[in-house]
Amino acid sequence: MTDPALPGAAQLSPLRVLLGDRTFLKLWGAGGLTNSMRWVEMLVSGLFAYELTRSAFAVSLVLMARALPMLLMGALSGAVAESLNRKYLLMAGQVLTALGAITIAVLSALGWLSLWHLWVNGLIGGLVWTNELATRRRMVAETAGPERIVPAVAFDTTTGSTTRMLGPMLGGVLYETLGITVAYIIASVIYLVALGLVSTVSYSQPRRALVPRRLFAEVAEALRFALAHPALRAVLGVTLVMNIFGFSYNSILPAFGDRAFGASAIEIGFLAAAEPLGALISGLALALRRGPQAGRGLLLLGSTAFLTVLALAALAPSLWLAALFLMLGGFGTAAFASLQTGIVMMEAPVEARSRILGLTTTCIGTGPIGVLVLGALADGIGPPFAIAGFALLGLFFLALVAFATKR
């Protein structure tokens, strides 16, 4: 590998340098594997819940469980990740998700699987996901070095986009052809493969004492700093808007596809994959981009573009046109996902980064608010109008965030 400190390294594509780093590749690969199975689980559990109840609200309840721990524990998890070894935290989470998946597979095979089992498993998965930004994503950015933070995070988000694209497609195919039992068996095996990758990573971090009674004070300190900093304030505000009014549409995709287009499980999987496809293309462009690293302006622009296109997709007359709109919306979500972490890594002090990423995770955890309201609205006025109305509300609040984060 070319040493990034040498003059010749500056002439290389940032992506080429990153792909020559084994530690980066292992962390990137582990993220891709676990994220793909996370999306498989989400679609499969949503399809099972909808098939059992025929209620969009029931699907929302099952999927809400994955975001609830982020809301309740996100900020504290960031403070913990400042003290405990991030590699070991990441490995512990992979063990928990593997155990949860195999438990669901066994219950399904025995014919004992109920909605509350999926809800509890979702809580476990959400608790593990709470540490994603403060552990693995921070490790990815640190491995890349300060000059390649945005390309590294952008390339990592392309993996997330790929898994969000392939995961639902695979989940739809698995559910319709092999059933929920096999889907969860495959997920448990993949989680263990990711665990093996992370276990071979050489990682060290500055250690600080974990003082439980100080955790809330440390979180409050990070919050005061973030709110006083325009770019970090924008990250928190945009994350709130996108997760409440934007990404909540995923929770009712089974109901949206069925009621709007009479779609099959496989077609719903393709619909779920459309936005990640656009995000994959755009994320690669960000990863390959040279020059000054992007910032708050692109974060706001990308989020605005996604919510606008989401409203159009919800009211599209055909499934394939809706999928096309969602794919275009993916160009905006790639910018959002890359800069959500990238801005924190560039603007926050080293000793506070995990705490501010934990605060960002808490903002992500507000998604259940949107999921529950959107599910109830969808049962009342129909999924298309519910999604479109939510997206328009999101644009209004995004405008408020832009105004509140001016320097």
What are the Cα distances from residue 1, in Å, to 9, 17, 103, 145, 232? Answer: 9, 7, 42, 14, 34
The structural domains of the chain, with segments of one domain joined by +, span: 14-404
Residue owning tokens 């998890």: 77
What integer pLDDT is reported at residue 209 of this predicted model? 65
Read off the tokens for 242: 């996108």
Polymer length in residues for the chain: 407
Residue closest to 72 by CA, chosen among 355, 358, 371:
358
131-176 pLDDT, tens digit per residue, is 887 788 888 877 877 677 777 777 777 776 777 667 666 777 778 7
State the Cα–Cα distance between residues 22 and 137, nearest whole angstrom.
16
Residue closest to 254 by CA, chosen among 67, 61, 43, 63:
43
Name the band, by pLDDT with cuts 50, 70 and 90, for residue 84. Answer: confident
Radius of gyration of the chain (CA): 20
Geometric angle at alpha carbon 240, from 81 and 133, rounded to 5°: 25
State the Cα–Cα distance between residues 356 and 345, nearest whole angstrom.
9
Q: Let me know: does 399 contact 104? Beta carbons within 8 Å.
A: no
State the Cα–Cα distance between residues 311 and 111, nearest whole angstrom.
40
Q: What is the mean pLDDT of residues 198-209?
A: 78
Residue 253: Cβ-neighbour burial (10 angstroms; 0-12, 13-18, 19+): buried
What are the Cα distances from residue 282, in Å, to 15, 278, 319? Answer: 14, 6, 23
The fold for domain 14-404 equals Growth Hormone; Chain: A; (1.20.1250)
Between the two ends of the chain, the Cα-to-Cα distance in Å is 41
Helix (H, G, I), strand (E, B) or coil at 71: helix
What integer pLDDT is reported at residue 407 of this predicted model? 61
What integer pLDDT is reported at residue 287 of this predicted model? 66
Q: What is the mean pLDDT of residues 75-99?
A: 84
224-267 pLDDT, tens digit per residue, is 888 888 888 888 999 999 989 988 887 778 778 877 788 777 77
Q: What rounded mean pLDDT belongs to the chain?
A: 81
Residue closest to 228 by CA, chosen among 348, 353, 360, 362:
348
Query: Can you list the alpha helix ranges (DSSP code H) found in 82-137?
Result: 86-109, 115-129
Geometric angle at alpha carbon 247, from 241 and 253, rounded to 5°: 150
Share of the chain above pLDDT 70, in %: 89
Task: Check whether 108 has a pLDDT greater than 60.
Answer: yes
HSE-CB at 336 with a 13 A cutoff on CA atoms is 31
What integer pLDDT is reported at residue 225 of this predicted model? 86
Q: Let me know: does 153 contact 140? Beta carbons within 8 Å.
A: yes
Helix (H, G, I), strand (E, B) or coil at 84: coil
Q: What is the mean pLDDT of residues 52-70?
A: 77
Q: What is the mean pLDDT of residues 73-95?
A: 82
Read off the tokens for 245: 């009014």
Name the band, by pLDDT with cuts 50, 70 and 90, for residue 8. Answer: very low
State the Cα–Cα distance between residues 371 and 50, nearest whole angstrom.
15
